[in-house]
Amino acid sequence: MSWGRWYFALQAVGGAASWIAVFTIPAVQTATLGSLQPFLVALADVPLFVVASALAAAGVRAAAVVTTIWTAAVAVALATWATVTTEAGIGVLIMTGAAVGSVLALSLVLLGRVPTEWVASGPLRFRTADPEAARRRHVLGTVVQIVVFWGLFLGVFPLVIAFAERRWQLHPDLPGPVSVASVVTGAVVLVAASALGIASAAAMSTQGAGTPLPSAMPNRLVVAGPYRSVRNPMALAGITQGVAVGLLLTSWMIVVYALAGSIVWNCVVRPLEEADLEHRFGDDFRRYAERVRCWVPRWPIPASAPVEALSPPRR
């Protein structure tokens, strides 16, 4: 049996157990459904979630599609309900996790794999920047990217998550000293991580003849600046910034959001990006990858590490 079918089997068992708990433990009903009538919800959820998951585990592909669509719809509906009423916050988290798991399992059932290559398609397809463009154009493009991406991923999205955490009654009441320490730590880490991100972006745009954006990637292998001690300083900076924003806003959900982003980046984006780099730069990139680690910076910088970003692209 495939991993996707195993997941649906686990989801069927978990769904059945959760409904037993809802009808037998009042605290579980309150945490997951709030004031919603459990019998009315169960009339739809048991066949479309529990039974359909079991059928998907047995190999019925149509059932896998049905339960995935239903799970996603329930997650959205429950999130709306929780936002309006401040009830059932735990239920939102459970169903959101189930929706993500169902989508991944459905991919495994229908395709035999998770099509991660879709991430690098359309406007995010890997393309090199115009090598004839002036350096200031690459720098300006990088500045615009930083403003847009930081504004979204470190501003808009965390604020929405922090609002939901409080609205769904999931925000813990921290003691005063703990809250102050979290805010101060978050501010310090955010400044340090932002400095790393800016330094990395500067090295990319000034020495790589390109930008960090996949659709305008550097024409040279950048191994200068922060890239001398770690292969992915911008990703490291971004994840650390996300955690710092979570500390700054005392939001555990933002911290989880940042850490989840690191998993997605490491498991989905990084393999595609490094395959592209190896294709374009060949032995230069392979030697660089052997000397410089992906996530953990080396300090001081090893004497054998590359020190300049001058390798020409290989056609």
- The percent of residues in the chain predicted with pLDDT above 70, rounded, is 95
Which element (helix H / strand E) includes 39? helix 38-45
Q: What integer best gives the mean pLDDT of the chain?
A: 90
Tell me: the pLDDT tens digits for 203-243? 988 888 888 888 788 888 999 899 999 999 999 999 999 99
Any idea where the domains of the chain sit in the sequence? Answer: 3-114, 126-291
Cα-based distances in Å from 256 to 92, 135, 165:
15, 37, 12
Give the CA angle between residues 262, 264, 270 to the nearest 5°.
85
The CATH number corresponding to 126-291 among 1.20.120.1630, 3.40.50.2000, 2.40.50.140, 1.10.3720.10 equals: 1.20.120.1630
Higher pLDDT, 155 or 130: 155
pLDDT tops 50 at residue 23? yes
pLDDT tops 50 at residue 151? yes
Closest CA to 222 of 284, 112, 309: 309
CA–CA separation, 18 vs 181, rounded Å?
Answer: 37
Closest CA to 52 of 105, 93, 114: 105
Binned at pLDDT 50, 70 and 90, residue 314 comes out as very low
Binned at pLDDT 50, 70 and 90, residue 304 comes out as very low
pLDDT for the residue numbered 309: 44
* pTM of the full structure: 0.89
Closest CA to 114 of 9, 213, 7, 13: 7
Strand partners, 269: none
pLDDT tops 60 at residue 313? no
User: Are 298 and 292 a contacting pair, CB within 8 Å?
Assistant: yes
pLDDT for the residue numbered 300: 58
